[in-house]
């Protein structure tokens, strides 16, 4: 605790020098971070292979390219966002000028998960730097190679008093949460999200929670099934289903279910071959605990594809479960693995009612050719974000704010939202001293008084 308290104090002292807030310094830091990611690219890919068996293509696309895009977006726009914004003056404030300044919080604590262990600490860091904060990163101990690498990379480019990495597990995380940081950005599970929020409540520390949950994927009878099959399977099997926004379960129109199942089976074979668990590019489950948790779901419903496991290598083949009921264990928690339960509906309203009965999801996907029905889904269901006729890729854009609602999280980041998320609005009224309007004072003598 002592060391962490000292680190927070050092960062606060550096923050109050004003340096992290200087625009040129912020731009320089983001450029430095981008250059370091470029230099470390092979090491990042290597660490991701060791921790999660991510293929180079997938790792680059999901963990590195997104970071470059975010850096570029910040470098391009930060100058214009950083100007104080002049706003209108109320009638009662005649003579004054009003401005909104964006202020960094100070020392930001960023706690990351293991599933995209690089991207999910570096993207928030870009936001923290863009807004002018100091930052302490706590990567996930469950992806130890990436955690080590993030620490090395950050130590190589930043002073501790500006950006530091503290490695460790639950104890370290708890100690950090008890330290007097000025802002908390947490990505992880709903259960730990509650612990983080409780810790933040003790000091009323502002926070953002990026959590998870069961993201539904609804496929209507008029969907383009060939594309739907490809896009669902791609999204579900990315990182072996260990993605916060992965389609968790399918809600398929009864009339097209068999056709979709057939196409999804073909797609899995096209993407990963006859025996996906023998494909070196197929991701593995992160650890034994999660492997055991997932294999218990294999007794739910009927396995229509997959169901093979390799305990030694922590592999579970892409598995489709048909005739699953809403009461099965697989429908009671976020799956976070390559297992896809299939449920059906006959009327869209019935699907909407069903989804409304579950906690508000982080993402929702809907496949249909009808703009009207797409609008109905968007307007009638609560969820953080999602895609019409695709899965997952909404989170690859710095132009779309990312986050959940209710149990799937609170707050938004990415692009301009990241800059806003790591700063607060400071409202300033600059009053004139050329004249004074005395109406507000208890005793009114003359009207307008020139000074």
Please identify which residue in 62, 108, 115, 239 interacts with ligand NAD, judged by CB under 6 A: 115
Please identify which residue in 151, 195, 298, 405 interacts with ligand NAD, judged by CB under 6 A: 195
Please identify which residue in 124, 188, 338, 385 interacts with ligand NAD, judged by CB under 6 A: 188
Please identify which residue in 120, 153, 208, 285 interacts with ligand NAD, judged by CB under 6 A: 120
Q: Is 244 in the site for ligand NAD (CB under 6 A)?
A: yes
Q: Is 169 in the site for ligand NAD (CB under 6 A)?
A: yes
Please identify which residue in 189, 279, 295, 370 interacts with ligand NAD, judged by CB under 6 A: 189
CB-based contact 418:127 (threshold 8 Å):
yes
β-bridge pairing 183-187 and 207-210: parallel
Please identify which residue in 20, 106, 112, 241 interacts with ligand NAD, judged by CB under 6 A: 112
CB-based contact 313:292 (threshold 8 Å):
no
Q: Identify the helix (H) or strand (E) that includes residue 315.
A: strand 315-316
| CA–CA gap between residue 50 and residue 120 (Å, rounded) | 17
Fill in the per-residue mask, 258 to 277: x = in contact with ligand NAD (CB under 6 A), - = not in contact: --------------------
- Based on CB atoms, which residue is closest to ligand NAD, 223 or 245? 245
- State the DSSP string of 263-286: HHHHHHHHHH-S-GGG-TTS---S
Identify which range of 109-117, 300-308, 311-319, 438-446 contacts ligand NAD by CB under 6 A: 109-117
| Segment 165-172 long-range contacts (CB within 8 Å, at least 24 positions apart) | 165/136, 165/137, 165/138, 165/139, 166/4, 166/7, 166/136, 166/137, 166/138, 167/138, 167/139, 167/141, 168/138, 168/141, 169/141, 172/138, 172/141
210 is a catalytic site residue = yes
29 is a catalytic site residue = no
Fill in the per-residue mask, 353 to 392: x = in contact with ligand NAD (CB under 6 A), - = not in contact: ---------x------------------------------
Please identify which residue in 113, 361, 398, 415 interacts with ligand NAD, judged by CB under 6 A: 113
| Structure token digits, residue 1 | 């605790």
CB-based contact 276:339 (threshold 8 Å):
no
Strand, coil or helix: 193 = helix
Among the options 244, 334, 387, 421, which is catalytic?
Answer: 244
Shortest distance, CB of residue 395 to ligand NAD, whole angstroms? 8
| Structure token digits, residue 37 | 């990611």
Q: Is 114 in the site for ligand NAD (CB under 6 A)?
A: yes
- Please state the length of the chain: 451
Interacting positions 70-99 with ligand NAD (CB under 6 A) = none
Q: Is 321 in the site for ligand NAD (CB under 6 A)?
A: no
- Based on CB atoms, which residue is closest to ligand NAD, 15 or 249? 249
Contacts of 429 (CB under 8 A, 6+ apart): 93, 96, 97, 98, 99
CB-based contact 319:298 (threshold 8 Å):
yes
Q: Is 192 in the site for ligand NAD (CB under 6 A)?
A: yes
CB-based contact 372:275 (threshold 8 Å):
no
Interacting positions 276-295 with ligand NAD (CB under 6 A) = none
Q: Identify the helix (H) or strand (E) that includes residue 108.
A: strand 107-111
Shortest distance, CB of residue 195 to ligand NAD, whole angstroms? 5
- Based on CB atoms, which residue is closest to ligand NAD, 307 or 406? 406
- Based on CB atoms, which residue is closest to ligand NAD, 152 or 374? 152
CB atoms within 10 A of CB 130: 30
Q: Is 141 in the site for ligand NAD (CB under 6 A)?
A: yes
Fill in the per-residue mask, 402 to 431: x = in contact with ligand NAD (CB under 6 A), - = not in contact: --x----x----------------------
Q: Is 212 in the site for ligand NAD (CB under 6 A)?
A: yes
- Based on CB atoms, which residue is closest to ligand NAD, 29 or 237? 237
Q: Using CB atoms, what's the residue nearest to ligand NAD?
A: 212
Which residue, chain included where needed, has tokens 């009323």?
204
Query: Alpha helices, DSSP H only, in 132-256?
Result: 144-157, 170-178, 190-203, 225-237
| Residues forming the active site | 210, 244
The binding site for ligand NAD (CB under 6 A) comprises: 111-115, 120, 138, 140-142, 169-170, 173-174, 187-189, 192, 195, 210-212, 244, 334, 336, 362, 404, 409
């Amino acid at each position: 605790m002592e060391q962490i308290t000292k680190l927070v104090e050092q960062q606060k002292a550096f923050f109050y020098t004003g340096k992290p807030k200087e625009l040129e310094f912020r731009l320089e830091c983001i450029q430095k971070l981008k250059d370091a990611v470029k230099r470390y690219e092979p090491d990042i890919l290597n660490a991701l292979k060791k921790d999660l068996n991510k293929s180079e293509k997938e790792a680059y696309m999901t963990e590195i390219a997104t970071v470059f895009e975010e850096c570029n977006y910040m470098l391009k726009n930060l100058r214009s966002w950083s100007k104080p914004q002049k706003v209108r003056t109320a009638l009662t404030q005649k003579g004054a000028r009003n401005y909104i300044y964006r202020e960094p919080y100070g020392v930001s604590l960023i706690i990351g998960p293991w599933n995209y262990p690089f991207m999910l600490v570096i993207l928030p860091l870009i936001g923290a730097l863009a807004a002018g904060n100091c930052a302490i990163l706590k990567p996930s101990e469950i992806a130890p190679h990436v955690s080590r690498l993030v620490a090395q990379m950050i130590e190589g480019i930043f002073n501790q008093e500006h950006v530091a990495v503290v490695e460790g597990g639950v104890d370290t995380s708890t100690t950090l949460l008890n330290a007097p940081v000025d802002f908390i950005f947490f990505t992880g599970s709903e259960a730990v999200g509650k612990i983080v929020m409780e810790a933040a409540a003790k000091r009323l520390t502002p926070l953002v929670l990026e959590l998870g949950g069961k993201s539904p994927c609804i496929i209507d009878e008029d969907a383009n099934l060939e594309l739907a099959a490809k896009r669902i399977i791609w999204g579900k099997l990315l990182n072996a289903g260990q993605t916060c926004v992965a389609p968790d379960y399918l809600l398929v129109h009864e009339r097209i279910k068999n056709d979709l199942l057939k196409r999804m089976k073909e797609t899995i074979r096209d993407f990963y071959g006859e025996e996906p668990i023998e494909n070196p590019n197929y991701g593995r489950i992160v650890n034994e605990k999660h492997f055991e948790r997932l294999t218990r779901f294999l007794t739910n419903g009927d396995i229509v594809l997959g169901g093979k496991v390799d305990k030694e290598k922590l592999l579970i083949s892409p598995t489709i479960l048909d005739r699953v009921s809403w009461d099965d264990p697989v429908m009671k928690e976020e799956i976070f693995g390559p297992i896809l339960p299939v449920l059906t509906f006959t009327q869209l309203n019935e699907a909407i009612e069903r989804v409304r009965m579950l906690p508000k999801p982080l993402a929702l996907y809907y496949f249909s050719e009808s703009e009207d029905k797409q609008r109905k889904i968007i307007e009638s269901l609560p969820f953080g974000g999602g895609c019409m006729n695709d899965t997952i890729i909404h989170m690859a854009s710095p132009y779309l704010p990312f986050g959940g609602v209710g149990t799937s999280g609170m707050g938004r980041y990415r692009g301009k939202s990241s800059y806003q998320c790591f700063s607060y609005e400071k409202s300033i009224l600059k009053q004139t001293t050329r004249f004074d309007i005395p109406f507000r004072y208890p005793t009114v003598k003359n009207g307008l008084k020139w000074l």
